[in-house]
Amino acid sequence: MFFTYAGVFFIGIVVGFLGGLFGKGGSAVATPMLSLIGIPGFIAVAAPLPATIPGTLIASAEYWKSNLLDREIVLWSILIGVPATIVGSFLTEYTGALPLLIITGLLVLGFGISFLLFPKEKSFNPKEDKSLNANHGFYWYIRLILIALFIGLISGLLANSGGFLLAPSYARILNMPIKKAFACSLAVSAFLALPGTIVHAYLDHIDWVVTVILALGSVPFSMLGAKVAIRSKSSFLEKVYGLILTFLGVFFLIKLMVN
């Protein structure tokens, strides 16, 4: 049991650092890693949700200190995304997961390839970014609402915080600088994880010992990941992020085909 819990703590460190670095809650990555060390299925799915909430909030606070958090995007995403997540949670009873998983894998792969082949970042300075809290047009809001609605539903259906799709959607569809996309994704992910946490807690799927150990590893390293991202060149982050998304997309789709 000691080695299992040590493995959970190490997974928390990895997931926390990568989450803070690349603007995602980490529940989608934590679940397969927990399964690999023998954590039962429902617990592997449910335990990361509450564990990642404090880490994502702390990491997003680091981005906020650097003036990288767009409050308007966060507010709209939460107002639309949280109800969509609740609806998605209820739809799991009637919806097959496989088509949704395939679509998600293809989206992650597509975003990853786009970051590699069509990079947009050069060197981002938040003081020079005119888009921060700027007035946006009607179609921009339509895109934002559709992103929040779609990813909220995905989050509810797949029982994760949605950060693995939020950040690339913000960067590519809303044309946000990569660091701002990470910052907003982290803040929104924390709120999108709440409905799933409540449902799984009610169903008694959460092993709180696993959750606490996971959080102990993830929280401090989420902050460290955010600090590293803030100090890194945006162009470098974009390339590494593209590689990681491409790898995750390929791995995800291969795993689905094997299963």
Taking residues 178-184, report their average pLDDT. Answer: 94
Residues 6+ apart with CB under 8 A from 39: 4, 8, 47, 207, 210
Residue-wise pLDDT tens digits, 32-84: 888 889 888 778 878 888 998 999 999 999 999 999 999 999 999 999 999 99
pLDDT at residue 93, as a whole number: 66
pLDDT at residue 229, as a whole number: 94
Taking residues 7-19, report their average pLDDT. Answer: 94
Query: Among candidates 147, 197, 206, which has minimal Cα distance to 175?
Result: 147
Q: Using CA atoms, how far apart are residues 118 and 96, in angstroms rounded to an integer?
A: 34
Task: Give the best-scoring range by mean pLDDT among 37-46, 85-94, 131-140, 231-240.
Answer: 231-240
| Between 42 and 171, the higher pLDDT residue | 171
Compute the mean pLDDT over every residue in the chain, rounded to the nearest whole number: 86
| Between 101 and 185, the higher pLDDT residue | 185
pLDDT at residue 134, as a whole number: 57
pLDDT at residue 31, as a whole number: 81
pLDDT at residue 130, as a whole number: 47
Residue-wise pLDDT tens digits, 122-169: 544 444 454 544 567 889 999 999 999 999 988 887 777 787 889 999
The tokens for 65 are 């200190």
* Counts of helices then strands in the chain (DSSP H, E): 11, 0
Domain count, the chain: 1
User: What is the percentage of the chain residues whose pLDDT exceeds 70?
Assistant: 92
- Please, are residues 73 and 174 in contact by the beta-carbon 8 Å criterion? yes
Look at the block and give the residue holding tokens 């679940």: 31
What band does 170 get if pLDDT is binned at 50, 70 and 90? very high
Taking residues 160-180, report their average pLDDT. Answer: 89
Q: Using CA atoms, how far apart are residues 107 and 119, in angstroms rounded to an integer?
A: 17
pTM: 0.85
User: Domain span at residue 184?
Assistant: 2-258
